[in-house]
Structure formats: C-alpha cells, structure tokens
Amino acid sequence: MPPPPLEWRVEPGLTDYPAALGAMQARVAAIRAGTAPEQVWLVEHPPSYTAGTSADAADLVDPRFPVYEAGRGGQWTYHGPGQRTAYALLDLQRPHGGVPARDIRAYVIGLEEWMIRSLARLGVQGERREGRVGIWVAGADGRESKIGAIGVRVTRWVSWHGIALNVAPDLSHFAGIVPCGIRQHGVTSLQALGVAATMAEVDAALRACWMEVFG
C-alpha cells in the first residue's frame, strides 16, 4: 500500500524554537510508527541563535537573543522573523523523486536543489560552493553571501530540521554569530537583493519546486 500523501503545514505567527523541536520529535516518532504522514512544516521563529553539533562556542559572538542546542548537523544559525524555515520530516527508507532510499548525502543535495530552483522562480541565481553547505549568491563586486542554510538530523531514517531561506530578515541580527563558522563571506536576503517577494510567494515557489525534486 502506498504511503499517505505528504502534508504541507504553514504555521501562522512566530513559533518558539523549543516548541518546534518538541513538535518535530513527536512527528518523527509518529512517522516512524506509521501513525502520521510525512510533513513539510513552514515556520518563522522569534530571533534565536541555534547551535548544531559542530558549533564552536567561540563563534557565538554576542548572545543578544535566546540560544538553543538544535541537535542538527552544522554550526551556528540565526532564525528570526522574515526568514522562512522549512522543516522536512520524511521517511528516508523509501525514495523521494530523484533521491534514493537511505542516502543522506543525496537527500542534502536534494535540499540544496530545492532551494536553488525555488530561488530561480523568484529571479535569483543561487549556487553551491565546494566545501560550504548552503546556498550562495555572487554579487556584482565578486563578494559571496549566503542566502540559504541547511541543517539536518536523521533519527532511525526519519529526517527532521531542514532549510532556512532569508526572505526579509533583519540581517544585522546575524552579527551575533559567525554563521556556519564562515567568517570571510556575508549573509544576504531576497529583500537585500531587491526582490520584494512575500512569504506567500516564497512558499508557493517552495511547494512547486518540492515536486520537481522530491516528487
């Protein structure tokens, strides 16, 4: 019997980070038990700094906002209003579109492709960079800035966490950390690039491009 269809959930308002962690953990257990379908959960968080499993304490420069242990891979990330965080809770024991079963590397590449295609729909060329996780934008001056972050965790082959795409956050808030441990490059957003996309328009691009990548 085929699995139930993926559920898309857009959370209104701001979701506290600890509440999101608890909700994801519960959903992962339910997916594993076969009592809930897979889910893509779209949220915005209050200003927060989250530490991945590779985070260096020295990269927390100014803890002006609440700090949380995320439990995902990666280093320091900022979450806040104007940033679309998309949590993908999937059973990776089965294939999803072009992503084969039980292949975490291919899954991460799929998340990158999802962001690249979504940005392209919004008129922005997002790019990968060797040795750097996430999606980058090259400016006319040659300066590279990060527009999308990726951090995942897989528990008994069910994925959680996901991506964070900068739509129109306060970019000054990133100054409290060294984002993803990378000091030599900046952070940007759709707004900073002159793209006046609403969150609903970003969500529509994400949903359309999800089908292209993950089926």
Counting every residue, how long is the chain?
A: 215
Tokens found for residue 161 = 């966490």
CB 38 within 8 A of CB 91: yes
User: Buried b / exposed e across 109-123, counting CB within 10 Å, b at 16+?
Assistant: bbbbbbbbbbbebbe
Average pLDDT value for residue range 10-15? 98
**Tens digits of residue pLDDT in 92-146:** 999 999 999 999 999 999 999 999 999 999 999 999 998 888 999 997 677 899 9
Please, what are the domains in the chain?
A: 7-214 (3.30.930.10)
10 Å Cβ neighbour count for 199?
16
Say yes or no to pLDDT of 2 above 80. no
**Tens digits of residue pLDDT in 133-166:** 899 999 767 789 999 999 999 999 999 999 999 9
**Tens digits of residue pLDDT in 31-83:** 999 999 999 999 999 999 999 999 999 999 999 999 999 999 999 999 999 99
pLDDT score, position 181: 65
In three-state secondary structure terms, 4 is coil
Q: pTM value?
A: 0.96
Q: What are phi and psi of 51, to 5 degrees?
A: -105, 125
- Looking at this protein, which amino acid is placed at residue 34? G
Which residues are tagged catalytic? Answer: 180
Tokens found for residue 106 = 């291919």
pLDDT score, position 105: 96
CB 51 within 8 A of CB 70: yes
